Structure 1
Amino acid sequence: MKTLKRILLLLAVLLLIAVFYNYPKLNILAGYSAKYASSSVFVADRTLEFTDKTDLDFAPINLASDEISTEEKWARSSAFGLLTRKAIYREGLGSVLITDESDLEKNSLVPKRLTPDNITPYPYGNAAQKDTVFTNIDYTKLNETVTSIFSDSTKTRAVVVIYKDQIIAEKYDTGFDKNSKILGWSMTKSITGTLVGMRQFEGKMNVQNKAPITAWQNDPRKEITIHNLLQMNSGLEWDENYDEISDATQMLFLDKDMTKMQAKKQFVGKPDETWNYSSGTTNVLSGILRDNFATHQEYLDYWYTALIDKIGMNSMLVETDLSGNYVGSSYGWATPRDWAKLGLLYLKNGTWKGEQLFDKDWVDYATTPTPTSDGWYGAQIWLNAGNRYPDIPKNMYSFNGYQGQNVFILPNEELVIVRMGLTKKADVNSFLSGILKSFK
């Protein structure tokens, strides 16, 4: 009996040690599951069952157990019963992880939205487009190419191909259609970058100015410019890793104010010489944008009234953190058709329905390769200048996100191509080149 008690005591001690060392991982695991479940159900209008079987069905996230309250609009996730995280949905602001119940009592400002244009044909409105057949397109080959990227291995959910303002091909996976909101993850960074370009066009900001971060003003970091931040080339330390505890996962699933973590980091390199992809950097930019307005309400409204709703991305919702900052790095939800509209805005050099939203030179600026990025990155935009896709023109650029969210812009070909899925395993080079080959 004594031996059994000792064994049980040893096992209990080992369990406590295991829980102690893995507690941070359990915290992020449950946080990811709760946050995504809440957004999927209350932002994207999916069921929890569908979400658990698709979006959250990967290790180790699938180890969490989820529940929701449709009346109170929250999702709760438990990691082995040892730790539970809760995310709440707030109308107009999206879902957010809370740290304690007192967070529920906070009164949050809500952004004002513009009325959708459901009369004008797509893409300038949301009505059905007029049928147009282009004689220079082999539609059979085009549709075969689009169909080929849908499979169990690629987990593609949506493809939209736009040529000369017309949708020439469109396909959705089971459970999705043209009205389905899909999380763009880091494609949201391109929204944030665009807003900076718009503020510069309005004379309210200059990207060549030093970044107005108070904590940097008394040390060498004061030399970092907004331009350095846009190019992810500040020289600051950052770990962007979604497979373990990292700066990125701690920020997204633990922080109340996501604009601060990157700002606390020290140099590991030099500005303009050390490219390092960082979601924290984009959220610093979101904080700079917030401080660029006189009030918090103006900041909230601007994202929609000046850009998102202005170009008819009416399905989009960019979620905020607990401090009211847009999570400009990661949390933009919209339909594939609406994500395509941002690509069209760039294709048109910032002009929308006759109005110039940002300087036409902004596209050249944003697609200029960042030093030390090997031609992969510009200003919150991914590039093909480094020939990442060898069969695609080098001047192609894209908005990219986690798990294979993409808006590809091919300026010479007048094409915008959206592909959204749950994995980056798809052969994007063959997919894009196949679309190009369908043109006679």
Structure 2
Amino acid sequence: MKKILKLGLILLLAVIVGIVVYNYPRLNIITGFSAKSVCSCTFEADRDIVSIEAGDNGFSPINLAKNVIDAKEKSVTSTVFGLKPRKAIYKEGIGCVLLPNGDENVKFKPNRKSITINKPYPYGNLSQKDTLFSAVNYAALNTAVANAFDKPGDTIERTRAVVVVYKNQIIAEKYAPGFTNESKLLGWSMTKSIASAVLGILEKQGKINVNATNLFPEWENDERSKISLNNLLQMNSGLEWVEDYNTISDVTKMLFLAEDMTKIQLEKPLISKPNESWNYSSGTTNLLSGFIRNQFKTHQEYLDFWYTELIDKIGMNSMVIETDISGNYIASSYGWATARDWAKFGLLYLNEGNWNGEQILNKSWVDYTKTPTNTSNGEYGAQFWLNAGGVYPNVPKDLFSCNGYQGQHVFIIPSKDVVVVKFGLTEHPDFNLDTFLSEILGAIQ
């Protein structure tokens, strides 16, 4: 019996050693991801550690990490078998910041004004008016929405929230256990579309031109000087980039190791001609965040602008965009807001840039957003995804959307006057978005 026990312990030790050896080069990434995720979900989204580790962090190799929460300091430290500790700390106004070198000198935050507006949703803080639309089959709609959620005991769809808005009115809304209409949800790459809107506001103010080149001093003496702002917005710059979350790649090194995330794509070489090779790049969006910063005299102006001119102006008061340790908005990945507030962003675009009578974006900018990028097969515009190429064959081709890692979406369907928000942890096609959307839209005549 002792021999069997000893052999079992040896085998267990061998397995542990094997896991550590295999993952050791990635441990900084694993613990960085885990610390940042647990910190944000705990202190920004007010979630408990059990649901975080089972959901957001419940996949290999991230689930190897052990997370220790310091409630007093509002920080999280993560390790794997005691190795490679990484720390993230919560700061009011900017969410959780991953500390690459343990530096906790985080003193910046945006100035915000949350104004109470006595109007119904979506334009104010009051409950929306009770409205029934004859064009909506509510029984079919509610069935379609319910089909997106797991039945008790299942973990297939893993949907957390669905909100359907028709003619500026919420006509269906459902949340998974543990989530409500006040839960902040991480949009991941949906945040890229927020950055696009900020650039659209700068364009409306006459401060930028999408056809401009010579965007950065670091590029002025080489071929990168020919890259236009349009090329960056459309992910068609020709710059080198690897977007792979399963390996040590450009994107994982940027998100979990870099102190200034705006510089990673900036330093990459040109490997093809601009406008000839579409390549999805989170580094490009953070580079755009740096470009936006360069339009202001002070860093505080940069921090404030996103909220005063867009986010708070359209009542997305729950939203927080997190920063890196250098104070740059991580526009590629880290926008948090309630599902209802994400729906407001979709409505801004559904209404062609107009918000309750004020033209926040030029209509021409919204049209530009929906223009397919060269070589993207009709799938991508200016930091928005498109259905122009028929990715969802049973859904109108005028659909465009904000999409994020693990199945986060804001779908805008102008021909149906509809916005659909969906949050979850399962991506298409494992979660069939074509069926999901076609069933919802089929309930609206």
1:141-180, aligned counterparts within 5 Å? 141-151=140-150, 152-180=155-183
Which of 328, 347, 354 is residue 325 of structure 1 equivalent to? Answer: 328
Q: TM-score, normalised by structure 2?
A: 0.93
Cα distance in 2 for partners of 1:421, 1:204 equals 37
Aligned to 1:437: 442
Mapped contact 2:214–2:220 kept (Cα < 8 A)? no
* Closer/same/farther in 2, CA of residues 20 and 142 from structure 1, 3 Å limit: closer
Aligned to 1:41: 42
- Offset at residue 61 of structure 1 (A): 0.6
1:60-99, aligned counterparts within 5 Å? 60-99=61-100
Aligned to 1:111: 110
3-state SS of 1:337 partner: helix
1:19-418, aligned counterparts within 5 Å? 22-101=23-102, 103-104=103-104, 106-117=105-116, 119-151=118-150, 152-418=155-421
Give the aligned CA root-mean-square deviation in angstroms. Answer: 1.7
Mapped contact 1:114–1:310 kept (Cα < 8 A)? no
* Closer/same/farther in 2, CA of residues 146 and 69 from structure 1, 3 Å limit: same
3-state SS of 1:169 partner: strand
Mapped contact 2:106–2:325 kept (Cα < 8 A)? no
Mapped contact 2:100–2:258 kept (Cα < 8 A)? no
Cα distance in 2 for partners of 1:223, 1:423 equals 39
Cα distance in 1 for partners of 2:19, 2:51 equals 32
Cα distance in 1 for partners of 2:300, 2:173 equals 37
Cα distance in 2 for partners of 1:17, 1:185 equals 32
- Offset at residue 23 of structure 1 (A): 3.2
Q: Percent identity?
A: 55
Any unmatched runs of 5+ in structure 2? 1-12
Aligned to 2:10: none
Cα distance in 1 for partners of 2:238, 2:276 equals 7
Cα distance in 2 for partners of 1:173, 1:426 equals 16
Aligned residues: 427
- Offset at residue 368 of structure 1 (A): 0.4
* Closer/same/farther in 2, CA of residues 18 and 218 from structure 1, 3 Å limit: farther
* Closer/same/farther in 2, CA of residues 15 and 353 from structure 1, 3 Å limit: closer
Cα distance in 2 for partners of 1:224, 1:336 equals 36
* Closer/same/farther in 2, CA of residues 217 and 296 from structure 1, 3 Å limit: same
- Offset at residue 432 of structure 1 (A): 0.7
2:249 is matched by which residue type in structure 1? Answer: S
* Closer/same/farther in 2, CA of residues 298 and 439 from structure 1, 3 Å limit: same
Mapped contact 1:117–1:312 kept (Cα < 8 A)? no
| Shift >6 Å, 4+ stretches | 14-18
Any unmatched runs of 5+ in structure 1? 1-11
* Closer/same/farther in 2, CA of residues 181 and 274 from structure 1, 3 Å limit: same
1:388 is matched by which residue type in structure 2? Answer: V
Cα distance in 2 for partners of 1:17, 1:143 equals 49
Mapped contact 1:211–1:226 kept (Cα < 8 A)? no
- Offset at residue 49 of structure 1 (A): 2.3
Cα distance in 2 for partners of 1:160, 1:36 equals 24
